[in-house]
A and B are shown apart, each in its own frame.
Chain A
Amino acid sequence: DAGVIQSPRHEVTEMGQEVTLRCKPISGHDYLFWYRQTMMRGLELLIYFNNNVPIDDSGMPEDRFSAKMPNASFSTLKIQPSEPRDSAVYFCASSLAGYGYTFGSGTRLTVV
Chain B
Amino acid sequence: GQQLNQSPQSMFIQEGEDVSMNCTSSSIFNTWLWYKQDPGEGPVLLIALYKAGELTSNGRLTAQFGITRKDSFLNISASIPSDVGIYFCAGPPMNRDDKIIFGKGTRLHILP
Using a CB–CB cutoff of 8 Å, the interface residues on chain A facing chain B are 4, 31, 33, 35, 41-43, 45, 48, 50, 55-56, 91, 93, 99-101, 103-106
Query: Nearest 4 A-B pairs (CB), nearest first?
Result: A103-B42, A42-B104, A43-B102, A91-B42
**Taking A43-B43, A99-B92, A100-B45 as contacts, is the C-beta distance between A31 and B98 under 8 angstroms?**
yes
Q: List 18 A-B contacts (CB under 8 A).
A: A4-B42, A42-B103, A42-B104, A42-B105, A43-B43, A43-B102, A43-B105, A48-B99, A56-B99, A99-B31, A99-B33, A100-B48, A101-B45, A103-B42, A104-B42, A105-B41, A106-B40, A106-B41
Q: How far is the CA of A7 from the CA of B84 in the complex (A)?
A: 26
Using a CB–CB cutoff of 8 Å, the interface residues on chain B facing chain A are 31, 33, 40-45, 48, 88, 90-92, 98-105
Contact A103 B98 (CB under 8 A): no
Contacts of B44 in A (CB 8 A): 103
Q: How far is the CA of A99 from the CA of B101 in the complex (A)?
A: 11
Contacts of B90 in A (CB 8 A): 99
Q: How far is the CA of A77 from the CA of B41 in the complex (A)?
A: 19
Contact A50 B48 (CB under 8 A): no
Q: How far is the CA of A105 from the CA of B90 in the complex (A)?
A: 19
Contact B99 A33 (CB under 8 A): yes
Contact A93 B42 (CB under 8 A): yes
**Taking A104-B42, A105-B40, A105-B41 as contacts, is the C-beta distance between A45 and B98 under 8 angstroms?**
no
Contact A45 B101 (CB under 8 A): yes
Which residue of B42, B48, B103 contacts A105 across the interface (Cβ within 8 Å)?
Answer: B42
Q: How far is the CA of A100 from the CA of B92 in the complex (A)?
A: 12
Contacts of B43 in A (CB 8 A): 43, 91, 101, 103
